[in-house]
Amino acid sequence: MKELPTKPYFIRAIYEWCIDNNLTPYLLVRADDEICIPIGRIVNNEITFNIGHSAVSKLTLGNDAIHFSARFNGVLSDIFLPIGTIKEIFASETGQGMSFLLEETSEIKLKEINLECIPKPESTSHILTLPSNKKHQLRVVK
């Protein structure tokens, strides 16, 4: 049996940690021909996304990709990010988080277009789908 990569599990863990601490989780993503993102938002071949409850809906943190809906200039857009393009996940308020080595993601070759190119993940196993406006109430007990 093929061992699953740890990167998506770390991403989900840091995301939950941010939410539990009332921090805003951000993703820093390599912006190239492998992802479908809003035109004009790329700086130095990178794009940063706020993936907090107030910024996105239908957030899915899967083993192969991260998928969510967000508004850019008032236009609702679906964003699909292969896990291999994620460079960092961090809390915007503190900068704490985790950086990752970039991977090659040859399976998905998308061009920067008007977000009409959202493929569906092949596998739905190990996907964490979170409600868009429900806050978690977990607390650290000492």
**What's the pLDDT at 31?**
85
Backbone angles phi and psi of 13, in degrees to 5: -65, -45
What is the overall mean pLDDT for the chain?
Answer: 78
- In angstroms, the CA 46 to CA 31 distance is 5
Residues of the chain with pLDDT under 50: 105-136
pLDDT 10s digits, 105-120: 444 344 333 334 444 3
- In angstroms, the CA 127 to CA 16 distance is 14
List of long-range contacts for 94-100, beta carbons under 8 Å, 24+ apart: 94/23, 97/14, 97/18, 97/25, 97/26, 98/10, 98/11, 98/14, 100/7, 100/10
What sign for the dihedral angle of Cα 89, 18, 117, 123? Answer: positive
pLDDT 10s digits, 7-22: 999 999 999 999 999 9
DSSP single-letter state for residue 132: S
Place of tokens 């008007």: 114
For the chain, give the number of residues: 142
Domain architecture of the chain: domains with CATH: 7-119 (2.30.30.220)
